Structure 1
Amino acid sequence: MTRRSSDSPVPSRQRKPTAVAQPAAGPDYSREAALLAAGARLVAGIDEAGRGPLAGPVVAAAVILDPECVPDGLNDSKKLDAAERERLFREILACASVGFASASALEIDRYNIRGATLLAMRRALHALGEAPCHVLIDGRDVPPLLRCPGTAVISGDALSLSIAAASIVAKVARDRMMTRACRAYAGYGFSRHMGYATAEHLEAIGRLGPSPIHRMSFRPLRRDLLDAAE
Structure 2
Amino acid sequence: MSPEDAIVGSDEAGKGPVLGPMVAAGVRAPPESVPDDVDDSKRLAPGTRESIAERLRADEDVAVGVAVVPTDRIDDPETDMNSLTVAAHAEAIAAVAREGDAVVTDAGDVSESRFARRVRDGVVAASAPDTLSIDVHAEHRADETYPLVAAASVVAKVRRDAEIDDLAEEYADYGPLGSGYPSDPTTRDFLRRYVADTGELPACARASWSTCADVLAAAEQSALSEF
TM-score, normalised relative to structure 1: 0.75
Deviates more, 1:70-79 or 1:167-176: 70-79
Q: How far off its partner does 1:129 sit?
A: 7.1
The corresponding residue for 2:93 is 125
Percent same amino acid among aligned pairs?
A: 31
Unaligned runs of 5+ in 1: 1-29, 36-42
SS in 2 for 1:102: strand
Q: After the TM superposition, which residues 70-149 of structure 1 pair with which residues of structure 2 at under 5 Å, given as runs?
A: 70-95=34-59, 96-110=62-76, 111-128=79-96, 130=98, 133-139=101-107, 140=112, 141-142=115-116, 143=119, 144-147=121-124, 148-149=134-135
The CA RMSD over aligned residues, in Å, is 2.2
Q: In the alignment, is the contact (CA less than 8 A) between 1:188 and 1:205 conserved in 2? A: no
Instruction: Give the residue type in structure 2 aligned to 1:97.
Output: A
Q: In the alignment, is the contact (CA less than 8 A) between 1:188 and 1:201 conserved in 2? A: no
The corresponding residue for 1:205 is 191
**Residues of 2 paired with 1:93 and 1:132: CA distance?**
23
Q: In the alignment, is the contact (CA less than 8 A) between 1:101 and 1:127 conserved in 2? A: no
**Residues of 1 paired with 2:96 and 2:175: CA distance?**
33
Deviates more, 1:146-155 or 1:76-85: 146-155
Q: In the alignment, is the contact (CA less than 8 A) between 2:27 and 2:64 conserved in 1? A: yes
Instruction: Give the residue type in structure 2 aligned to 1:222.
Output: A
Q: How far off its partner does 1:165 sit?
A: 0.3
The corresponding residue for 2:142 is 156
Q: Which has the larger radius of gyration?
A: 2
**Residues of 2 paired with 1:57 and 1:145: CA distance?**
20
Choose from 153, 157, 169 the match for 1:183: 169
SS in 2 for 1:146: helix
SS in 2 for 1:99: strand
The corresponding residue for 2:224 is none
Q: In the alignment, is the contact (CA less than 8 A) between 1:61 and 1:170 conserved in 2? A: yes
SS in 2 for 1:145: helix
**Residues of 2 paired with 1:188 and 1:80: CA distance?**
26
**Residues of 2 paired with 1:151 and 1:84: CA distance?**
27
Task: Say if 1:204 and 1:137 are closer, same or farther in 2 by CA, change over 3 A.
Answer: same
**Residues of 1 paired with 2:170 and 2:105: CA distance?**
33
SS in 1 for 2:9: strand
- Pairs aligned (count): 190
Q: In the alignment, is the contact (CA less than 8 A) between 1:54 and 1:218 conserved in 2? A: yes
**Residues of 2 paired with 1:177 and 1:122: CA distance?**
21
Deviates more, 1:160-169 or 1:60-69: 60-69
**Residues of 1 paired with 2:140 and 2:98: CA distance?**
25
Task: Say if 1:124 and 1:178 are closer, same or farther in 2 by CA, change over 3 A.
Answer: same
Deviates more, 1:98-107 or 1:165-174: 98-107
> If each structure's helix is expressed as a fraction of its own residues, which one has the higher value?
2
Q: In the alignment, is the contact (CA less than 8 A) between 2:13 and 2:157 conserved in 1? A: yes
SS in 2 for 1:68: helix
